[in-house]
Amino acid sequence: MSDDKPKCGAKLFIGDDFGDNSATMTCDLPPGHGGLHQETFWRHNPNDLDADLKPALVTWPFDERLHCKKHGIQPSGFCPACIDEEFEDDESEPISF
């Protein structure tokens, strides 16, 4: 899809099977689309690096971004504004050792 068109932006947060890395998939379909979210990207066949790039497609059924009732859709799985407000409202004393 062209980068100048609005995109859905739904996220899928994934980690590799070794647990030492992660990736975020971002839906590149138009806002309000029906059905599954998807991201299309281009990659080489790892067994033939001289081959041309081929499209790869990942689909998923739900948006993993946080939908904060107070601050709307957040780009990740938490709401920074709510965390900031929690600390602003916290009247407890710091722990001293």
Of 48, 54, 26, nearest in space to 38 by CA: 26
Which residues sit opposite 44 in a β-bridge? none
Residue 17 has pLDDT above 90, yes or no: no
The beta strands (E) that lie in 1-97 are given as 11-15, 22-26, 37-43, 54-60, 67-68, 72-73
pLDDT digits (tens, 9 = 90+) for 43-94: 888 788 788 888 999 999 998 887 888 888 877 777 888 877 765 544 434 4
**Confidence (pLDDT) at 34:** 93
Domain-by-domain residue ranges, the chain?
11-64
Mean pLDDT of 29-52: 89
pTM of the model: 0.65
Q: What is the DSSP letter of 1?
A: -
